[in-house]
Chain A
């Protein structure tokens, strides 16, 4: 057993040291695998970033109530009377005696994308004081919060960065009214940062929706109170509303759209990997062919078939590993932290950051090693079966 192991390591080391002799073929395999890995990681990092922006936004102790079947805030309509009923519901947290219930209006306004100069859909959310209080995680990093009853807007940092005209102090014309950006808020890069916030009453007036809202959010005194709220809503025929936690809602939104990105990334990468595999097989077969005499010599002085097999496979795996690592480095350098935006489930732009995470790198490395494994397996079998006498005699 010890002898077999020594033979394997000796042959593996010898093969790997001889890679430079077949520099160009080996290099083309490494680069081809690196390209496959980089493409896969680009898609995975995009999907992951988009998912992260949304799923990290939801709190487990905030309930969101929408019209049953609406699927997204933008489609939902709830009425003032319904909001009042929710304020009386069990399990709702209170601050200074006031229920933390926020009836919110959600409308879409145009912003100009800095990257292409074209109009894009941005959400303008109308909030009451309770609505602001609900979102205690956000930080105002420039200026201040809007004042109730005014035409003031606070903008999420993502909006300010990706779209022109929302910097602190800028004036915005919506319909017949002028609005001023009085503050910029941050929320750790979540989808909330892709929103504009203003006073709910003012938005209702300007957009002529005096008695209607899109959603009701309510802070629960604890996440365990959700069933009580659900039961209360189900028991009242005036409340045909769907109740879920914000966490559930955002997770669903993330799934709906990021599914597509992931759905595209793997098949594309696997298809490309088949091309790279063809290259790897060629490289390894020619490596075996080039070393035929050497292999026969080794076999005749007592090296077994298994070490010959393992040595060739090791060479392929080392090439694949190199390719994988180069691909990961390229992806991390080129894509990690890159921001982009796309239409989310609410028909508005969701700004997200590409995230190349260790977990994704591991999946990408697996793909690279799979190419190496299959690309090395068959040539290694051939190497192990080379007829000794024939090869030595041929010269």
Chain B
């Protein structure tokens, strides 16, 4: 008889038990796949941010204003390539509780600094030409069913217009993608000149300057030069890489990574116990059979390999189902969420690491029963019931 068939027969002998084990393993890998992908998406923006991109904000806190005139002085610093700036708008579309990831930005320089922001040339031109134009990321457009050319009202929970209203009218000039920073596709960008001419306060100030450098090696020196330039002025700056800025911001929400690691570790600990114990019991029930197999000439190592193959097969099957289901669910969710989190889709590294964990789980849970199978003495085994 073929060895593989023997392994399959052993797994199939108590179908219900095998199915229940598969369910337990499935759950653990489903949680791992889903949560790990979420975590990757959550921290993606800091990892993906281009290394030659720097950010200057108010030294007291990044929500406070800086004069827009700083743009020219930052641009004058040696090694700075393109400079742009933005203001948080506090915008919402219809539902005040659902705040858009929306900024007022200077169009031409924004597209220079964020060269990964891609849209058709005609849409790009339209935004550069239309003061009331808006560009929106792919995910945001999908979420609100916006199309190029749509006229939409957007309100601000912060700013008012001189006529007392809080609502601005926009035309959608373009819909963009950003293959590098997926989170950016949840963004909505209005033009800063439109902002400046219509708000009742906050004119000539911005929240943030974003700029690129000619070489990442100059980053440190440039950051110091800029902050030194504005030191002891009424509006001091602090300059850092975009990646460091994003990391610090993500950390403000809490130690998400720790929470996710703990949950996944707990789930794995639980199935390790369940699967490990069940396999020990299942092999103990087969003691006589194993003794018979040994009598027939099967070596101890063959028995060991068979039991390990059984536990590995079980772990891998459960893991594939769990990871597959998680990947499917993430695909569903990612099409309906937009905003602050990047692409939720399961990445190959997450999948591969999952398979790695499955192999480890299979080996660990199979170890004790396989060892006892290897060591089993025929006489003792045949005598046991």
Q: A residues touching B (Cβ–Cβ < 8 Å)?
A: 24-25, 27-29, 31-32, 35-36, 38-39, 42, 67, 69-72, 74-75, 77, 107-110, 113, 115-116, 118-121, 174-176, 207-208, 212, 240, 256, 268, 271-272, 274-276, 278-279, 281-282, 285-286, 340-343, 347, 349
Q: Is B248 an interface residue (CB 8 A)?
A: yes
Please name all residues of chain B whose beta carbon is closer than 8 Å to the beta carbon of A121 when the two chains form the complex.
61, 63, 252
The contact sample of 6 A-B pairs, CB cut-off 8 A, is: A25-B281, A69-B157, A107-B61, A175-B235, A272-B267, A278-B23
Q: Is there contact, CB below 8 Å, between B157 and A75?
A: yes
Q: From A111, which residue of chain B is reached at the shortest CB distance?
A: B61
Q: Is there contact, CB below 8 Å, between A28 and B276?
A: yes
Of the listed stretches B4-12, B14-22, B180-188, B302-310, chain A binds B14-22
Q: Is there contact, CB below 8 Å, between B266 and A39?
A: yes
Q: Is there contact, CB below 8 Å, between A36 and B270?
A: yes
Please name all residues of chain A whose beta carbon is closer than 8 Å to the beta carbon of B254 when the two chains form the complex.
340-342
Q: Is there contact, CB below 8 Å, between B21 and A349?
A: no
Given contacts A175-B234, A278-B27, is CB(A342)–CB(B266) below 8 Å? Answer: no
Q: Is B328 an interface residue (CB 8 A)?
A: no
Query: Among the interface residues A32, A77, A121, which one has the most CB atoms of the partner chain B within 10 A?
Result: A32
7 smallest beta-carbon distances between A and B, as pairs:
A275-B27, A279-B274, A28-B273, A278-B23, A278-B24, A32-B270, A278-B20
Q: Is there contact, CB below 8 Å, between A274 and B21?
A: no
Interface residues of B in 243-291 (CB under 8 A from A): 247-248, 251-255, 262-263, 266-267, 269-271, 273-274, 276-278, 280-281
Given contacts A35-B270, A175-B235, A282-B20, 9 further A-B contacts (CB under 8 A): A24-B281, A77-B158, A119-B248, A120-B251, A176-B236, A275-B28, A278-B274, A279-B270, A282-B17
Q: Is there contact, CB below 8 Å, between A31 and B270?
A: yes
Q: Is B132 an interface residue (CB 8 A)?
A: no
A-B contact count (CB 8 A): 147
Q: Is B232 an interface residue (CB 8 A)?
A: yes
Please name all residues of chain B whose beta carbon is closer than 8 Å to the beta carbon of A275 when the two chains form the complex.
23-24, 26-28, 267, 270-271, 274
Please name all residues of chain B whose beta carbon is closer than 8 Å to the beta carbon of A67 when the two chains form the complex.
160
Q: Is B31 an interface residue (CB 8 A)?
A: yes
Q: Is B333 an interface residue (CB 8 A)?
A: no
Please name all residues of chain B whose beta carbon is closer than 8 Å to the beta carbon of A71 when the two chains form the complex.
96-97, 99, 157
In Å, the complex CA distance between A341 and B27 comes to: 30
In Å, the complex CA distance between A240 and B200 comes to: 15
Q: Is there contact, CB below 8 Å, between A176 and B251?
A: no
Please name all residues of chain A whose beta carbon is closer than 8 Å to the beta carbon of B278 when the two chains form the complex.
25, 28, 279, 282, 286
Rounded to whole Å, the gap between the CB of A79 and the closest CB of chain B is 10
Given contacts A38-B266, A118-B248, is CB(A268)–CB(B23) below 8 Å? Answer: no
Rounded to whole Å, the gap between the CB of B60 and the closest CB of chain A is 5
Q: From B31, which residue of chain A is reached at the shortest CB distance?
A: A271
Q: B residues touching A (Cβ–Cβ < 8 Å)?
A: 16-17, 20-21, 23-24, 26-28, 30-31, 59-61, 63-64, 90, 96-97, 99, 155, 157-158, 160, 164, 166, 201, 232-236, 247-248, 251-255, 262-263, 266-267, 269-271, 273-274, 276-278, 280-281
Please name all residues of chain A whose beta carbon is closer than 8 Å to the beta carbon of B26 when the two chains form the complex.
275
In Å, the complex CA distance between A285 and B276 comes to: 16
Indicate which residue in B157, B252, B269, B277 contacts A343 across the interface (CB closer than 8 Å): B252
Rounded to whole Å, the gap between the CB of B43 and the closest CB of chain A is 14
Please name all residues of chain B whose beta carbon is closer than 8 Å to the beta carbon of A272 when the two chains form the complex.
27, 31, 266-267, 270
Given contacts A275-B274, A278-B24, A282-B20, is CB(A69)–CB(B63) below 8 Å? Answer: no
In Å, the complex CA distance between A74 and B157 comes to: 10
Please name all residues of chain A whose beta carbon is closer than 8 Å to the beta carbon of B269 when the two chains form the complex.
31, 35
Please name all residues of chain B whose beta carbon is closer than 8 Å to the beta carbon of A285 when the two chains form the complex.
16-17
Query: Among the interface residues B64, B160, B232, B255, which one has the most CB atoms of the partner chain A within 10 A?
Result: B64
Given contacts A108-B63, A109-B60, A175-B234, is CB(A75)–CB(B24) below 8 Å? Answer: no
Rounded to whole Å, the gap between the CB of A262 and the closest CB of chain B is 14
Rounded to whole Å, the gap between the CB of A257 and the closest CB of chain B is 10
Q: From B22, which residue of chain A is reached at the shortest CB distance?
A: A278
Q: From B251, which residue of chain A is reached at the shortest CB distance?
A: A118
Q: Is there contact, CB below 8 Å, between B281 and A274?
A: no
Q: Is there contact, CB below 8 Å, between A207 and B64?
A: yes
Q: Is there contact, CB below 8 Å, between B270 and A69?
A: no
Please name all residues of chain A whose beta carbon is closer than 8 Å to the beta carbon of B21 when the two chains form the complex.
278, 282
Rounded to whole Å, the gap between the CB of B233 and the closest CB of chain A is 8
Please name all residues of chain B whose beta carbon is closer than 8 Å to the beta carbon of A212 when the two chains form the complex.
201
Q: Is there contact, CB below 8 Å, between A240 and B234?
A: no
Q: From B17, which residue of chain A is reached at the shortest CB distance?
A: A282
Q: From A395, which residue of chain B is reached at the shortest CB distance?
A: B385
Given contacts A275-B23, A343-B252, is CB(A24)–CB(B201) below 8 Å? Answer: no
In Å, the complex CA distance between A185 and B248 comes to: 28
Q: Is there contact, CB below 8 Å, between A271 and B201?
A: no
In Å, the complex CA distance between A113 and B164 comes to: 40
Q: Is there contact, CB below 8 Å, between B20 and A31?
A: no
Rounded to whole Å, the gap between the CB of B125 and the closest CB of chain A is 34
Please name all residues of chain B whose beta carbon is closer than 8 Å to the beta carbon of A274 when the two chains form the complex.
23, 27
In Å, the complex CA distance between A39 and B255 comes to: 16
Rounded to whole Å, the gap between the CB of B33 and the closest CB of chain A is 12
Please name all residues of chain A whose beta carbon is closer than 8 Å to the beta carbon of B16 when the two chains form the complex.
285
In Å, the complex CA distance between A248 and B24 comes to: 44
Rounded to whole Å, the gap between the CB of B320 and the closest CB of chain A is 16
Please name all residues of chain B whose beta carbon is closer than 8 Å to the beta carbon of A25 when the two chains form the complex.
277-278, 281
In Å, the complex CA distance between A20 and B329 comes to: 41
Q: Is there contact, CB below 8 Å, between B234 and A176?
A: yes
Indicate which residue in A38, A77, A113 contacts B201 across the interface (CB closer than 8 Å): A77
Rounded to whole Å, the gap between the CB of A223 and the closest CB of chain B is 26
Q: Is there contact, CB below 8 Å, between B31 and A116?
A: no
